[in-house]
Amino acid sequence: MTLRTAIAACLLAALTACDQNSTAENPPPTPAVNTTTEAAPAPKPDLPDALPVLDIDGIEALIAESAARDQIVVIDFWATWCVPCVAMFPELHEGLVAMGDDVRAVSITLDAPGKYEQRAIAFLNEHHALKDAYLLVPDTDQQERVVERLGEQWSNLEVPAVFVFGPDGKLAGEFLGPDVKGILETTASLRSQ
């Protein structure tokens, strides 16, 4: 008998000796099964892979569409990397939605398509704001056209930038910076006219 065969035989004997207690008469205990019914985790909402992209023509069409419905439209340009934007968003969006159907709250993110856009989608979903949410066209020339044609004081893509358009489709308020109180007051004033 070779040394290898002897070692293999010893190992086999040791392994079978370790398992002496598990015979058919004395089977190992079976783990307890939890028979209580636990609530299944809530399904994750179906989030879009991407937001619709808007350029100046799309934004102007949105304003005209709202005016045709006699709606005030508040357009919030923001981004997830903008601390004041993220801080003011919940209060602004909730305040606008609470005003009713005659106010349309539109969110346009400047986040880049892809990973950052996904952050924006998750943030918008968390704040129940995906209904009228868009991505600003990522083309620099197109973005400059938005700045040139939309506001009176907006000179670049600084955010937060919020524009309030009356039911007539005309610019009624332009807010460059976090001024939730001013935006909500301007919108409420338009509603009471």
Domain CATH code at residue 66 = 3.40.30.10
Considering its fold, how many domains does the chain have in total? 1
- Predicted local confidence at residue 39, as pLDDT: 53
140 found inside a domain: yes
Average pLDDT over residues 149-158: 90
Distance CA 92, CA 83 (A): 14
Distance CA 189, CA 172 (A): 10
Q: 74 pairs with which residues across the strands?
A: 105, 164
Average pLDDT, the chain: 84
182 pLDDT above the threshold of 60: yes
Residue 174 is part of which domain span?
53-191
Distance CA 176, CA 158 (A): 8
pLDDT > 70: percent of the chain: 77
174 found inside a domain: yes
7 found inside a domain: no
35 found inside a domain: no
6 pLDDT above the threshold of 90: no
175 found inside a domain: yes
88 found inside a domain: yes
- Predicted local confidence at residue 36, as pLDDT: 47
pLDDT > 90: percent of the chain: 69
Q: What is the pTM of this model?
A: 0.75
* Helix residue spans in the chain (DSSP H): 3-18, 56-68, 83-98, 115-126, 140-150, 180-191
- Predicted local confidence at residue 19, as pLDDT: 44
151 found inside a domain: yes
14 pLDDT above the threshold of 50: no
Average pLDDT over residues 40-50: 64
136 pLDDT above the threshold of 60: yes
CB count in 10 Å sphere of residue 104: 21
